[in-house]
Amino acid sequence: LNRLRALAPVNALGGILDALELVLARTGDGLLAYAKDWRGDSKEAEIIRGAGAAYVRVLIPFLRRAVLQGVFGAPYEREAEKDGNVDMSQVNSKQVAEGSNALEAVLTEWESWLADASP
């Protein structure tokens, strides 16, 4: 990712982050639909919950941080992300809405489902 940083135009960050968040939201939504429809045994359901938790709590923050810090060198505040208050003024002069809003909705739905599905 460090080699890409020298080539990445900073004004493209908003669009790239929005596209990433939209893809992550769609994937998370599909995985959640699969998890909710699962009718297998409890051990397999536990594996699906674990995979979903890893996707939401590990992979999504990792990929967002990799793009923000690794490619563009923009600051990344994990606490701000947890609160849903990522400072988008660093991204562009305008806020990225579509991908960010979709991802936030999927993350909220996942966390709610994980809390309800806990044994």
* Chain segment 65-106, per-residue pLDDT in tens: 998 888 877 787 754 444 444 444 444 434 445 778 999 999
**Of 25, 18, 38, nearest to 108 (Cα)?**
25
Which tokens sit at 36? 């909710």
**At residue 54, does pLDDT exceed 90?**
yes
Domain count, the chain: 1
Query: What percentage of residues in the chain have a pLDDT greater than 90?
Result: 49
Report residue 40's pLDDT band, with 50, 70 and 90 as the boundaries.
confident
51-65 exposure pattern, b = at least 16 Cβ within 10 A, e = fewer? ebeebbeeebeeebe
Which tokens sit at 116? 């309800």
Report residue 19's pLDDT band, with 50, 70 and 90 as the boundaries.
very high
**Of 103, 92, 111, nearest to 23 (Cα)?**
103
Of 2-11, 18-27, 37-46, 82-91, the one with minimum mean pLDDT is 82-91
Domain containing 51: what range?
A: 2-117
